[in-house]
Amino acid sequence: MKICIVGTGYVGLVTGVCLAVKGHQVICVDKRDDIVKSINEAQSPIYEPGLDSLLKEAVSKTNLRATTGLADAVMQTEVSIVAVGTPYGEGRIDLSQIEQSVREIGDVLKQKDKYHVVCIKSTVVPTTTDTTVRNILEKASGKKTGRFGLAMNPEFLREGRAVEDFMKPDRIVIGAYDKKSFNTVKRIYKGRFEAPILRVNLRTAEMVKYASNALLAALISYSNEVASICEQTRGIDVNEVLEAVTLDKRFNPRVKGLLTNPEMNKYLKAGCGFGGSCFPKDVKALASFADSKGYSAEMIKSIMKINETQPLRLVSRLERAIGGLHGKKVAVLGVAFKPNTDDVRESPALIIIEELMRKMAQVVAVDPIAVENADKVIPAYGTSLCYSSDYKSALQDADAAVLVTGWPEFSAISPREFVALMKDPVLADGRRIYDKQSMEAAGMVYIGVGLTDM
Ligand code: UGA
């Protein structure tokens, strides 16, 4: 099939490249010349494991090309997949990029006689596709929906594993305006991907995406709430509690006597909070969507409330342990929102750094690859905040350290190394990657999420 992808962020580009590798003819559209040039030269403009080699394969087979010319791309293809950003701001998601893209597509559909399906892949709150998007398309094209197709096909791609998630999907959800739209979008996947294809209506498809992300985020906030309760009581370790919880066969079925350890259970883990470009934005958007419908989604709101206080709780505990943060050198280990990414968006590290600085600590934040991005969000300020990519210099003579991102290079720091480098060996472990007993045996003061300080 000939497919146009509008927007080449991590969702759009991964979608385009994977569909091209699966044999489709893909045209990626982006407004930025530098991104288009880079894609056509088979250089991925974003870092995503496995993407570069698939992009090279797709470009060399001439199955994929990029352009800034949306009109030509829509004219030459059967489906336009819209994968532009929908950032959250001012209490709701910002639809301006979606609106602009579909208006431009609608303008082209005015002149296009052949049937064309517009398929929204960006995360949008329920009813967006069959109200806002549909109205814009009908107005711009002068045609009623049905003469062109309309679909909503949410993505379930994790940053850092997006290629793998796309190539091996667990479900393909297609929200469709009518049967013809559904059948067209289904042809993109059928026979090429092994996963159940669910046909739903447009607004259900939109809701599936929010419900999925809210559930995963809820598991994390639930774990963090259990952790906070454990912290109030001597002798209860949240890790032991949650491990036992997830051994319930309803969470962890056995196959031939062996535990299957579903990946979902990894979200049942306490820490200093979730981040990234999706969970915080989607949970907030779902809560405000519910509010707009006259329903206050208390549990969804609590997910964010817990997540916002979780990093601050860790800083308070550290402050108590070292008797005040004023003028103290604190090493922050990790600024990326999770390991294996340089993405710092909504990272708990940002909240922790800001809180430490508010309390007049001298912060040295260290990350193997994300310091540049962190510096764009919270610029370095000489001695009160600086960045480093070397954990040794960050820990050298530090009064305390906070582990925020569970990078393997941080897990490998031994208790002895901490003690040797630091002035005062106090560590707040926001991901529970270190063993409390070994740390304490080496002389460290260890503060762990879900473990009491008493
Ligand atoms: C998330 C979802 O997992 C994807 O299914 C979804 O498609 C994507 O959002 C999206 O909406 O586009 P992503 O934000 O890349 O993907 O990150 P995750 O790997 O799920 O991590 C999200 C947060 O959960 C991070 O803060 C991470 O530290 C935390 N997390 C993740 C855990 O606490 N434990 C884990 O095992 C995994």
- 3-state SS of 205-245 is HHHHHHHHHHHHHHHHHHHHHHHHHHHCCCCCCHHHHHHHH
pLDDT, residue 454, reads 67
Low-confidence ranges of the chain (pLDDT < 50): none
pLDDT in tens, 175-223: 999 999 999 999 999 999 999 999 999 999 999 999 999 999 999 999 9
Task: Give yes or no for a contact between 93 and 213, defined as CB atoms under 8 angstroms apart.
Answer: no
| Nearest-5° Cα angle at 73, 26 to 106 | 125
Burial class of residue 62 (count of CB atoms within 10 Å of its CB; 0-12, 13-18, 19+)? exposed
How many Å apart are CA 290 and CA 293, to the nearest integer? 5
CA of 78 to the centre of ligand 1 (A): 32
How many Å apart are CA 222 and CA 228, to the nearest integer? 10
How many Å apart are CA 10 and CA 260, to the nearest integer? 30
CA of 24 to the centre of ligand 1 (A): 29
Task: Give yes or no for a contact between 356 and 314, defined as CB atoms under 8 angstroms apart.
Answer: no
Atom in ligand 1 nearest the alpha carbon of residue 273: 26
CA of 159 to the centre of ligand 1 (A): 7
Q: Give the C-alpha distances (Å, rounded to integers) separating 295 from 9, 66, 94, 119.
A: 33, 43, 21, 29
Residue nearest to atom 34 of ligand 1 (CA): 267
Residue nearest to atom 25 of ligand 1 (CA): 274
How many Å apart are CA 55 and CA 78, to the nearest integer? 22
Residue nearest to atom 11 of ligand 1 (CA): 278
CA of 158 to the centre of ligand 1 (A): 6
Task: Give yes or no for a contact between 63 and 40, defined as CB atoms under 8 angstroms apart.
Answer: no
| Nearest-5° Cα angle at 96, 147 to 90 | 135
Residue of 4, 28, 230, 278 marked active site: 278
Active site residue 4: no
pTM (global) more than 0.85: yes
